[in-house]
Amino acid sequence: MMSEQKQCILIIDDSPMQLVALENILAPLYDTKLAKTGAEGVRIAQSTNIDLILLDLVLPDESGFDVLRQLKQSKDTMDIPVIFVTGRVSCEDEATGLNIGAVDYIRKPFTDVVVKLRVEIHLRIVAQMKFIENISLTDGLTGISNRRSFDNVVRSTWNHARRTNDCFGMLMLDIDKFKIFNETYGHLNGDICLKTVASTMSKSLTRGTDSVYRWGGEEFVIILPSTDLEGSMLVAERVRENIENTAIDLGNETTSVTISTGAGSIAPNNMDFDTHFLGFSTKVNQALFQAKNNGRNRVESI
C-alpha cells in the first residue's frame, strides 16, 4: 500500500544554524524546503506545493513582513499559512504580522516540542480545509468533479491556452432517453446508471490532464487541454463507444445506455474568458442538441 504524501513545509531563514535546527526537527515528519532569502522563498512557494511556511522576521534582502505581503498578493500563495519564527517579542511586531496575515509566532530560542506542536496544529487545519474544499468540488452521487470545480478549471485552462497560444477541447455529453430509463427502472437504478456512466467516462480518458465533470442531471462535460478538434472528436468517439458497450448492473438484470455528444475546440489567443467563453460553450451545446436531433448515440462538432 502506498503511503500518504508528506505535507510540505518551507523554511525561510538566513541563519544556517536556524535552518539546520528547524530542518532536523521537522524533516523526519514532513517534506522540507529551505530558503535563505525572501526572494528565494517566494520563488519556491510559487513553484512548489507548499502547505506551511516558517518565516524569519529579519532577512538579508527584505523583512519578513515584506515577504508575507508578497505571498498574500499572489493567488498561488495567498492561502499558504505563515508562522513567523523570531527572537523579536514586540507587541507591535506581533500585531503587524497578524494583521498582514500570519497565523502564529514561534519565539527564538525555540524548543523541539513547541515547534512540532505549533506546526502540527496548523497543518491539521490545512488538511481539514483541503478536505472540505475537496468535498465542495465533488459530485456527491458519482464521485467525479462537480460544476463548481468545472468553473474553476475551465477558466484556468482557457487562460493557460491563451498565454501559450495553445488550444483546448471541450465535450458536452448527455445520456440518451434518461427520463425513460428512470421511468422504466426507477430512480435508484437511475443513480446506478449515472455512477456507471461517470466511471466509464473517467476510465476512457487516457491523459492525466483530461477531466470529466457532472454538469447537472444526466449531463456531463469533459475538458481536454492542448487538444484540437480532431483530437476532441477521437476522445468523444472513444467515450461514446465505451459507454454503449458498458453493462449497467441493476442486480436482477443488466442493461445499457448511450450518449449524445457535442465536441469543440478553441485557441483563445487574445480572447478574454469572460467575454468569449460563453459563445464557445453555447456552440458546443448546440452541437450536442444536433447529435440528439440526428438520432442520438453520436458525436457532432461545432
DSSP state of 166: -
Q: Does 218 qualify as catalytic in the annotation? A: yes
Specify the amino acid at residue 251.
G
CA 25 from chain centre, in angstroms, equals 31
Specify the amino acid at residue 27.
A
SS3 content of the chain, % helix, strand, coil (to 5): 50, 20, 30
> Listing from the earlier edge strand, what are the strands of the sheet with 8-12?
31-35, 8-12, 52-56, 82-86, 104-107
Q: Which of 183, 218, 253, 300 is catalytic?
A: 218
Q: Give the closest residue to 169 by CA, choosing from 279, 281, 259.
A: 281
16-22-26 Cα angle (round to 5)? 140
180-184-188 Cα angle (round to 5)? 100
What residues are labeled active site?
A: 218
